[in-house]
Amino acid sequence: MSDLPQNQASTTPVLDRVRLPADMKGLSDRELIQLAGELRRETVAAVSETGGHLGAGLGVVELTVALHAVFDAPRDKIIWDVGHQCYPHKILTGRRDRIRTLRMEDGLSGFTKRSESAYDPFGAGHSSTSISAAVGFSTARELGAETGDAIAVIGDGALTGGMAFEALNHGGHLKNRMFVVLNDNEMSIAPPVGALSTYLTRLYSESPLQDLKEVAKGAARAFLPEPFKEGAKRAKEMLKGMAMGGTLFEELGFTYIGPVDGHDLESLLPLLRTLKARARGPVLIHALTKKGKGYAPAESRPDGGHATAKFNLATGEQKKAPSNAPSYTKVFAEALISEAERDEKIVGVTAAMPDGTGLKEFGAHFPRRMFDVGIAEQHAVTFSAGLAASGIKPFCAIYSTFLQRGYDQIVHDVAIQKLPVRFAIDRAGLVGADGATHAGAFDTAFLANLPDFVVMAAGDEAELVHMVATAAAIDDRPSAFRYPRGEGMGVDMPQQGVPLEIGKGRIIQEGVKLAILSYGARLSEVLKASEALRARGIVVTVADARFCKPLDKDMILQLVAEHEAILTIEEGAIGGFASHVQNFLMEEGVFDRGFRLRSMVLPDDFINHASPEKMYQVAGMNAAQIEAKVLEMMDISVAKRA
């Protein structure tokens, strides 16, 4: 397995012997402990070359080794919640030779993915789903499916998602044998919030960990036959007396084991072996871990080294390209701070993503006016609705794909009541290495079909500043504005945002015959395409719609009157901006007169992870492809293009 010269000793001799989990069955416990150390070093080395989610994987190295050493994947289903902690798992399950392709085009996904390996029984990318899936697998086994045990590994941050408790409630009711490993590192992406975090902390803060480890071993004996049951009973009572014994979980129907040291294989291995041999119903194992464990640069970071660019292995210094323009996220944060300085009713709401949404910076300025509700998008939306109903002005900042999780609340609690919640939708469009699970393709379609909803998309970073001001000024209905991940276009920035006229677009460039009507951040590629067309002697009109709802109907009809054709472009799926334009023009009878309209939208598919530029190339939405579409619409032959 090693490519090292024969005279050079491998630094991973045990790992070199493990191609698949079955190869771990013959290893001694001492060798498994050595394997964990080698696996940690291999994970750090790989991510230093690829970038990606580092801290979470380092925190579960020993858990990964223990689970694969004891259980029998892929027959047994090990389900990693979210999946960003699965790199060590991938190394142990036949993918070590490809681990340095993580998150790259045609390489390994940064999350678990069913199509990638039989050892990934359930795909992930968003949080709080693993226990539901495990309940499904365990129930399928009871119905005769050819599957073994189901083991969900879920972090304490992900446990703040309500879906996790729905699954615990159902799993405890069904009483089927299954296992939940609560990976408690007191850290998701941001510090955990809420009463649950306080409860978990109390479980292990009231007694020294080394004592609780021994109690946990005693609790495991509850699954042993006579004559050990009396000792097991005393251990369980002792555990409850010392740390409340996970009463919450036991009331939900789970046998609670823990807390245990998630980095101590000498405790984990016998515990899991006992549970595998003797458990009859649902079991929750509360394991304490440290995010970024074993790599000092990650351990020292506030987020435990959650996500990182490529980095120097010795120092941990990240290798980030210099920025030429501010990121859209930073522009949003600064614009919101500016608005909030003038309006004390403005507050920020996010769902465990203060850094990613820019609200951490807002919270530094206004700590009493920033609310991180945990991984609970549904609650974030309805919480914002309650604030709005009280006269507060909430900006609910959530990634496009995460906002999908709160859609019913958007409809029922916000739209029907016409409450002025302002949705700041980051990560609109294709996002690159995180792939399909994080690609914001659907928000325009699912918001713009709601009555009285103002739906905007920023064509550049200056427009984003104005849209923040616009949303702040809208106080009689809900609104949303979307913007992409990454840097802006480098345009001149306004000193202060100015509210836009609702439903009013702008003409950026005057041309003849054909107009490109852009909605959102593909505007930069549209302008590049228009420059390439100008070099051919073709001058097209370029318009920035700004609004999908309400449409600028006057501008669209003007474009129809002055041109032979219109091409619409948007970073969204079918059913979004183009569909609204098409429906409007159809009702106006424009197509009855033979007018030509074409649209460029994201394809009806989930695009695999790659660089954003390559993903847009696959989608057919880069400048060269826009240029080609215009030439096609103008009936200019390939020969004439040369």
Binding site residue list for Mg(2+) = 156, 185
606, amino acid identity = F
Could you say which of 369, 405, 546, 614 is catalytic?
405
In order of 393, 508, 570, the CA distances from 331 in angstroms are 19, 22, 21
Q: Which two tokens stand for residue 593?
A: 């007169």
Beta-strand relationship, 282-288 and 255-261: parallel
CB-based contacts of 389, cutoff 8 Å, min separation 6 = 417, 419
Of the candidates 374, 172, 158, the one whose C-alpha atom is nearest the C-alpha of residue 256 is: 172
Strands (E), 233-303: 255-261, 282-288
632 is catalytic: no
What SS3 state is found at 549? strand
> SS3 letters for 157-218?
CHHHCHHHHHHHHHHHHHCCCEEEEEEECCCCCCCCCCHHHHHHHHHHHCCCHHHHHHHHHH
509, amino acid identity = Q
Alpha helices in 474-619 (DSSP H): 523-535, 553-562, 577-587, 612-619
377 is catalytic: yes
In this structure, the chain runs to a length of: 642
What values do phi and psi take at 495, rounded to 5? Answer: -65, -30
DSSP state of 317: -
Could you say which of 113, 213, 236, 291 is catalytic?
291
CB-based contacts of 279, cutoff 8 Å, min separation 6 = 177, 179, 223, 255
315, amino acid identity = T
Q: Which two tokens stand for residue 146?
A: 């050819």
CA distance 604 to 41: 40
Distance of CA 68 to the CA centre of its chain: 26
42 is catalytic: no
CA distance 53 to 43: 10
Q: Which residues are annotated as a binding site?
A: 84, 125-127, 156-158, 185, 295, 377
Crossing angle of helices 29-50 and 265-278, in 10° steps, is: 110
Could you say which of 377, 525, 570, 627 is catalytic?
377
Bridge partners, residue 598, by sequence: 567
In order of 49, 534, 556, 585, 598, the CA distances from 563 in angstroms are 51, 17, 11, 14, 13
Q: Which residues are annotated as a binding site for thiamine diphosphate?
A: 84, 125-127, 157-158, 185, 295, 377
Hey, which residues are catalytic here? 291, 377, 405
